[in-house]
A and B are shown apart, each in its own frame.
Chain A
Amino acid sequence: MRAVPEWLADDRGTAALGAMLSPTSSHSLEALAAESRAMTLRRFGRTMTLYAPLYLSNYCSSGCAYCGFASDRKTPRHRLEADEIRRELAAMKKLGISDILLLTGERTAAADFDYLQRGVAIAAEEMQRVSVEAFPMSVSEYKALADCGCTGITIYQETYNQERYEALHRWGPKKDFIDRLETPARALDGGIKTVGLGVLLGLSDPVEDALNLYRHVRHLGRTWWRAGMSVSFPRMRPQTGGYEPTFPVDNQLLARFIVAFRIALPDTELVLSTRESATFRDGMAGLGITRMSVESKTTVGGYSENKEGDECEEKERGQFEISDDRTTKEFCAALRRQNIEPIFKNWEPAYNGPSGTINPERKAKADTLPNKS
């Protein structure tokens, strides 16, 4: 058994953050929000960068107790083939999306590294910025992914409490706590430019998790000083498996976490997904959050099937329930009403290292994935 890394005991900066995070903190939420708002405005301006998730596959080999895609869930499984991915990308581009996050479950034979890599290559042909939230990989796999146009990866630790982690991840490759902890570092070693970290709020003591998340961000920032970093605040919502969060985080506490992270990490991108309600997202837009997903579908093939008006016989469930189901147009209008400009394109493939050039190998890779039809 490998040892827990030393940085998890690094206390630099944690006292100040801890003082802000505690639900019984002497810092008033209103005062923290005012400071967070001012810092966000100075550093990021009146803007919000938008992205959307694209679920490539819902095959999964792990048994995460809280997830709608866990391998014991009786949900229909499939993966998108080349023509289907292109159809989804076209539907997303119609919404204005140019920054996407490709998702799969944990590594399976049906959706393995090779499949993911081809998916990235196809997406990089259409989108300005492609990130991946899939499964832990090796340094050489991350390098191959970066060469295909992948700019960032998202890998949540879910919880930094090893005991809780091992209890919740019942089987499969995700059970390895330390391996998951070391994954962002491997991605950066492989040439991935940005990593997205987070804990799934509700699984374990939220304050303890938040402090360890902060330690992780600071450790990566000190060691891989070129790394772009973002922190997300996913919160448990009702799941297919009926998992009820053991440590529920209410709106007040979630807001407190977000503004405290902004103050503790003034330059870090903070992300809030459509798991949260329209009211909560609109409220947090000016208060620390700088990146949001929009019009998300958490089912495989969710973007183009609605357009065609398909009536699925068997209702497929997404990975999690969407709470903010506004269209891109409605969401952007709400941002603009608050004097915040939605930004769809905030990247240029020219900045993707060596893969930013015309890349015949990527083209070849993209062409190897078969079509459905």
Chain B
Amino acid sequence: MDVLQLGSYTFSSRLILGTGKFSNSKVMLDAVRASGAQLVTVALRRFNREQLEDDLFGPLSAMEGITLMPNTSGASTAAEAVRAAHIARELSGSPFIKVEIHPNPQHLMPDPIETYEASRILAKEGFLVMPYIAADPVLAKRLEEVGCVSVMPLGSAIGSGQGLATSEMLSIIIRESGIPVIVDAGLRSPSEAAHAMEMGCEAVLVNSAIAVAGDPQEMAEAFAEAVAAGRKAFRAGLMQKSGSAVATSPLTSFLGTL
């Protein structure tokens, strides 16, 4: 059985959904269902215990077959993210935490230093830590060393729809990683998700592309199919791209004369 292994948890779906940006929670829940996702992330700042109509956590936690991964979006330092992780675990009971630390609220690029520090602390405390990072191969290994259960490098800027703009760095991360690599952010189309899976990503996280699609439910299904197809292709082994084929081997033919 081909499963996504995160810590001691296994998932048959390799599509992870983000839950912000939807036009209402019913559309969001329908999209989650249609995607077949088993792991979804929800921002602690969208937990609202005082007004249930505004709360994203309640309806998601009531869904069967879904594991929630709270995220720390909004935190700008390691200390804030650690504090948020504690509150999120208290409220949700989930062992997962997606560490998202973007000190610049305009472009939302993750802070490597604060993310490393928060991940180190939280992994030590027993959280299953999934850090959102720039596509930095060295940082990815450093996070693996401190006990993260995956790394989540960005394909391109959050909400940009620029696809796998970082693919060169992603392929190094994938090649070197001992933990699942999950592309997070920037995907616009299912074909990009398929491409990420063909490259060897263990899963992808999609939010905007589904939330702002004309028909989010349909788009969620499309992403699910693309992720499954990409994974299948990766496992089957893609044929090599053709180089410039040459009939003779002028550079090494001397070896035959020895």
Interface residues of A (CB under 8 A from B): 41-47, 93, 96, 98, 193-194, 221, 225-229, 267-268, 336, 339-348, 350-351, 353, 356-357
Residues of B within 8 A of A (CB): 20-25, 44-48, 50-51, 53-54, 74-77, 80, 83-84, 87, 103-108, 159-161, 208, 211-212
The answer to whether A345 touches B54, judged by C-beta atoms less than 8 angstroms apart, is yes
Cα-based distance from A336 to B104 in the complex (angstroms): 30
- Interface residues of B, dominant DSSP: loop
Residues of chain A within 8 A of B76, CB atoms compared: 193, 226, 351
Task: List, in ascending order, chain A residues with CB within 8 A of B212's CB.
Answer: 41-42, 45-46
Complex partner residue of A345 from B48, B159, B208, CB under 8 angstroms: B48
Task: Determine the chain B residues whose CB is within 8 A of the CB of A93 once the complex forms.
Answer: 50
In the complex, what distance in Å separates the CA atom of A225 from the CA atom of B80?
18
Q: Report Cα–Cα, A219/B238, bound state, in Å.
A: 49
Contact B51 A345 (CB under 8 A): yes
For the complex, what is the distance from the CA of A350 to the CA of B76, rounded to whole Å?
Answer: 10
CB within 8 Å for A268 and B45 given contacts A345-B54, A348-B84: no
Contacts of B161 in A (CB 8 A): 42
Cα A324 to Cα B25 with chains together (Å): 26
Q: Are A267 and B107 in contact (CB under 8 A)?
A: yes
Instruction: State whether A353 and B80 are in contact (beta carbons under 8 Å apart), knowing that A348-B74, A348-B87 are contacts in the complex.
Output: yes
Most buried by A among B84, B106, B211: B106
Closest to B188 in A: A42
With contacts A98-B51, A350-B75 taken as known, whether A267 is within 8 angstroms of B106 at the C-beta atoms is: yes
A346-B211 in contact (CB<8A):
no
Query: When the two chains form their complex, are residues A98 and B50 in contact, meaning their CB atoms are under 8 A apart?
Result: yes
Docked Cα-Cα span, A47 to B160, in Å, equals 16
User: By the criterion CB–CB under 8 Å, are B84 and A341 in contact?
Assistant: no
CA distance A339 to B54 in the complex (A): 15
- Separation in Å of the B85 CB from the closest CB of chain A? 9
Contact B83 A268 (CB under 8 A): no
> A193 — which chain B residues lie within 8 A by C-beta?
76
B210 to chain A, nearest CB (A): 10
Residues from chain B with a CB closer than 8 A to the CB of A340 are: 23
In the complex, what residues of A have CB within 8 A of residue B211's CB? 45-46
Q: How far is the CB of B63 from chain A (nearest CB, A)?
A: 18
A341 to B22, CA, bound (A): 7
| Sample (22) of A-B pairs whose CB atoms are under 8 Å apart | A46-B21, A47-B21, A93-B50, A96-B51, A98-B48, A98-B51, A225-B103, A225-B104, A226-B76, A229-B105, A267-B105, A267-B106, A339-B24, A341-B22, A341-B23, A343-B54, A345-B51, A346-B45, A346-B46, A348-B44, A348-B84, A351-B80
Specify which of A194, A226, A227, A268 lies most central, judged by the most chain B CB atoms within 10 Å of its CB.
Answer: A226
Contact B23 A46 (CB under 8 A): yes
Q: Which residues of chain B are within 8 angstroms of A96 by Cβ–Cβ distance?
A: 51, 53-54
Q: How far is the CA of A351 from the CA of B108 in the complex (A)?
A: 15
B48's partner among A336, A344, A350, A357 (CB-CB below 8 A) is A344
Q: Which residue of A lies closest to B85 (CB)?
A: A350
Q: Which of A45, A93, A268 has the most CB of B within 10 A?
A: A45
Indicate whether A43 sits within 8 Å of B45 (C-beta atoms), given known contacts A336-B24, A348-B74. no
Whole-angstrom distance between the alpha carbons of A262 and B83 in the complex?
33
Q: Which residues of B contact A267 (CB under 8 A)?
A: 105-108
Say whether A343 contacts B84, CB under 8 Å.
Answer: no
Chain B residue at minimum C-beta to C-beta distance from A221? B106
Residues in B with CB closer than 8 Å to A357 are: 83
Q: How far is the CA of A357 from the CA of B84 in the complex (A)?
A: 10
